[in-house]
């Protein structure tokens, strides 16, 4: 299991605390320092069952600079969104957990974190807000 975090994010710290409390094994990826490629993002989105605009942080200053909030949200624009998020990883919602079983979740709630723990049934997948 891998968790993409920003150490300054309270939801990331909460997710880590819950994983620790549950005794889960995981690796940490500081995705702002080690940004995912467009290919990695495309794969994570597939695993999440979400579109890039579903996990975009539109309140970030760079989102306003790019005007991303007004971009089309359709198949034709998907690559543009992914490329922008790869170039500016601050635009990616966090934390994201990728589980060993192939599932993934935007882990912004305790329920979402628990949904990818071994022995749990698939639960909430995308809670991006």
Residue 9 catalytic? Answer: yes
* Distant-in-sequence, close-in-space partners of 129: CB < 8 Å, separation ≥ 6: 93, 108
**Residue 39 structure tokens:** 């290919």
Could you say which of 3, 4, 8, 9 is catalytic? 9
Tell how strand 96-98 and strand 2-5 pair up.
antiparallel
Which residues belong to the active site? 9
């Amino acid at each position: 299991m891998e968790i993409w975090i920003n150490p300054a994010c309270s939801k990331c710290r909460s997710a880590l605390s819950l994983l620790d409390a549950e005794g889960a094994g995981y690796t940490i990826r500081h995705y702002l320092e080690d940004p995912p490629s467009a290919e990695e993002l495309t794969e994570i989105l597939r695993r999440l069952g979400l579109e890039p605009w579903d996990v975009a942080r539109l309140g970030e200053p760079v989102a306003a600079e790019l005007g991303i909030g007004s971009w089309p949200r359709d198949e034709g624009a998907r690559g543009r969104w992914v490329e922008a998020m790869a170039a500016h990883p601050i635009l990616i919602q966090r934390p994201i957990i990728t589980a060993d079983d192939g599932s993934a979740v935007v882990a912004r709630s305790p329920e979402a974190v628990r949904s990818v723990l071994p022995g749990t049934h698939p639960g909430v997948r995308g809670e991006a807000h």
